[in-house]
């Protein structure tokens, strides 16, 4: 069982979470205390991939004000994100000029879902009180204290 799956009983705040980036480095979310975080599940091979450029523009505009975007590639929807974690990250950087942090590929729904997405979905339901992430580019906005403020649908850009 991965460490990500083991942390679920200890998580009471967004800042209690951790994950791994595309280079397999641990990312401890307590490092985001005092920052505003936008978490998004992303894909480069779908019709909404243009949102990567929009996320980058948002990141560039506000990063000096303690704002960060965390991109979580997922191939849970029609296998859009093929390749290794590093290949996916390189694709995001080269094709879409992304400079914000890119995490490892994750599952956003189901039995082996990322603990990050389990926590986000439990704490901010979607349209009609749904928990499930419906598609790529669903986004969660987290405030400086770790409270999930808003959940944005796939079609709506933050």
Q: What is the pLDDT of residues 40-80, one digit of tens each?
A: 999 877 777 788 999 999 999 999 999 999 999 988 776 55
pLDDT given for residue 90 in this prediction: 76
Predicted local confidence at residue 87, as pLDDT: 79
Task: State the maximum Cα–Cα separation within the chain, in Å, rounded to a whole number.
Answer: 39
CATH class, range 14-152: alpha beta
The DSSP code for 64 is G
Mean of all residue pLDDT scores within the chain: 85
Read off the pLDDT of residues 113-123 as tens digits, 9 standing for 90 and up: 999 999 999 98
Rg (CA), the chain: 14
Residue 81 pLDDT exceeds 60: no
Catalytic residues: 46
| For the chain, domain boundaries | 14-152
Q: What is the pLDDT confidence band of residue 158, given thresholds at 50, 70 and 90?
A: low
Which residues, in sequence order, are CB contacts of 69 under 8 Å at separation 6+? 37, 38, 40, 55, 56, 58, 59, 100, 101
More confident residue, 153 or 100: 100
């Amino acid at each position: 069982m991965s460490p990500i799956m083991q942390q679920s009983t200890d998580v009471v705040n967004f800042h209690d979470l951790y994950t791994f980036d595309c280079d397999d480095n641990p990312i401890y979310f307590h490092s985001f205390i005092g920052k505003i975080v936008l978490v998004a599940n992303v894909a480069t091979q779908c019709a909404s991939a243009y949102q990567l450029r929009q996320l980058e523009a948002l990141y560039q505009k506000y990063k000096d004000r303690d704002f960060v975007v965390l991109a979580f590639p997922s191939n849970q929807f029609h296998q859009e994100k093929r390749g290794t974690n590093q290949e996916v990250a390189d694709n995001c950087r080269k094709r879409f000029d992304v400079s914000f942090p890119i995490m490892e590929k994750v599952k956003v729904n189901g039995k082996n879902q990322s603990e990050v997405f389990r926590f986000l979905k439990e704490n901010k339901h979607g349209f009609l009180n749904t928990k499930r992430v419906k598609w790529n580019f669903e986004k969660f906005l987290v405030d400086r204290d770790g409270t999930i403020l808003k959940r944005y649908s796939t079609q709506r850009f933050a």
